[in-house]
Chains A and B, each alone.
Chain A
Amino acid sequence: MENTFEVKKDGSVLNIVLNGQLATANAPALMEELNKYKDQGVTKVSFDATNLTYIASSGIRVVIFAKQKLGGNPEIEFINCNDEIFGVFEMTGIQNYINFIKK
């Protein structure tokens, strides 16, 4: 599985599809991509983690970045996050600020 991502803006929702890993090799590129949507009225950032198998702290930083730097304090959503990835969020205590959804 390739460690890729796709970002699409749909109205005020930023939809991000994650594949494989979100780690040091690709997290900075995703952060740079997200930065293009700064102050553009994003109300929700939705990460589709259906095909995500691994996240490192660099990936967690992307989520913190989305919450803090896009402007307007958007809602953060994770779709179909696996148990181990959820465990990392839980350990860092930020799971309470993310809506985890099963689809």
Chain B
Amino acid sequence: MKTLHFQSVKGKGPEITEAIIAEEDIKSCKKEFFALHLVIEELAVNIADYAYSDGKDGYLDVLIDKTPEEITITFKDGGTPFNPLERKMPDLDLPLEERGIGGLGIFLTIKKMDEVKYDYRNRENILTIKKKISNE
């Protein structure tokens, strides 16, 4: 298990994303890399922009656990309790002209991963994603 700690997240979504995807455990998932990159970015940017509100900043811990069969990534922040899985999903039947732009990131996260779980424990938002990996 590998842990990455970011002491300050405000506005740092892109650089946190780059730091996580540079980890060997992620880079070595060749076939799943695109999906992992996409989902890590959506979650890191959401936490960076919205977890700590009212001008506050805070931390993010990212735990990476890779087995031969799957990769599990856990995001923990001490921000406002927020379950992204309760967000309204985009209406995919609407024509492009009428589409809203909200909820797209979490929608892609759910689609791309095999499991997405949210917990609030010990005053932390805990979001866990799992993806099965192929060993080619």
Contact = CB atoms under 8 A, between A and B. Distances in A.
B107 A24 contact: no
A23 interface: yes
Interface of B is mostly: helix
B38 A68 contact: no
Given A23-B14, A24-B14, A56 B42 contact: yes
Interface of A is mostly: helix
Q: How large is the interface on B (under 10, 10 to 19, 20 to 34, 35 or more residues)?
A: 20 to 34
**Max chain B Cβ within 10 angstroms of own Cβ: one of A56, A61, A92:** A56
A93 B92 contact: yes
A35 B35 CA distance: 30
Nearest to B37: A54
Interface residues of A, number: 22
B4 interface: no
**Max chain A Cβ within 10 angstroms of own Cβ: one of B37, B92, B99:** B99
A73 interface: yes
A25 interface: yes
Contacts of A91: 108, 111-112
Interface of B: 13-14, 17, 34, 37-38, 41-42, 45, 90, 92-93, 95-97, 99, 101, 104-105, 107-108, 111-112
Interface of A: 23-25, 54, 56-58, 60-61, 64-65, 67-68, 73, 76, 84, 88, 91-94, 97
